[in-house]
Chains A and B, each alone.
Chain A
Amino acid sequence: DGGITQSPKYLFRKEGQNVTLSCEQNLNHDAMYWYRQDPGQGLRLIYYSQIVNDFQKGDIAEGYSVSREKKESFPLTVTSAQKNPTAFYLCASSIRWDFAYEQYFGPGTRLTVT
């Protein structure tokens, strides 16, 4: 089956710990994205990658880091510098950056930091 996988579905961490969220796609898409969703705030772009070995900051990149060493993978690290890390994190991909509208979303990871 083709698609985007995110793991784990639920993640619990203590404050002060870094945590890495996995995102893998087998759609052969060039572009990948990370969003954060909080209640009542819609989706906000954290980072995006137009192509392998390249990535750009989105609107709320502070406290996050990413890598894009392989086309299929775009992991997101939530660092201890992120002040409010508890949220629903969504990974998405599209064929190319200029086909951003056809974004396919993964199932999401719900991160809780206490």
Chain B
Amino acid sequence: QKEVEQNSGPLSVPEGAIASLNCTYSDRGSQSFFWYRQYSGKSPELIMFIYSNGDKEDGRFTAQLNKASQYVSLLIRDSQPSDSATYLCAVMGGGNKLTFGTGTQLKVEL
């Protein structure tokens, strides 16, 4: 079992729709959870982090965390073509080590 799992996609959504990206993790002791956006050929960029169960909103982005289910998600409202990218879920476990998932490719179609 991979430590951090994501569906590789591609996930296709129409412009203006809500995109929902999901991530599960295996280490129950994980404390911090992060979403990075990576455009093709570029380096990752941190867009959201969450530490507590529940929702955290920042503009069009909402991160959701459920530690009991070991599940974290990212919602992107009013999706735009510029949101088309690969979204990496990262989980921080013991020793402050950041473990990345393989990423979900999102395509926002006109």
Contact = CB atoms under 8 A, between A and B. Distances in A.
A98 to B, nearest CB: 6
A101 B49 contact: yes
Interface stretch (B60-68, B73-81, B91-99): B91-99
Interface residues of B, number: 20
A108 B92 CA distance: 22
A101 B43 contact: no
A97 to B, nearest CB: 6
Interface residues of A, number: 17
Nearest to A31: B96
A102 interface: yes
Interface in A30-66: 40-45
Given A97-B96, A100-B98, A102-B46, 16 more contacts: A40-B8, A40-B102, A42-B102, A43-B44, A43-B88, A44-B100, A45-B97, A45-B98, A90-B44, A98-B96, A101-B34, A101-B49, A101-B90, A101-B92, A103-B46, A105-B43
Interface of A: 40-45, 90, 97-98, 100-103, 105-108
29 contacts: A40-B8, A41-B102, A42-B88, A42-B100, A42-B101, A42-B102, A42-B103, A43-B44, A43-B88, A43-B100, A45-B97, A45-B98, A90-B43, A90-B44, A97-B96, A100-B92, A100-B96, A100-B98, A101-B32, A101-B46, A101-B90, A101-B92, A103-B46, A103-B98, A105-B43, A105-B45, A106-B43, A108-B42, A108-B43
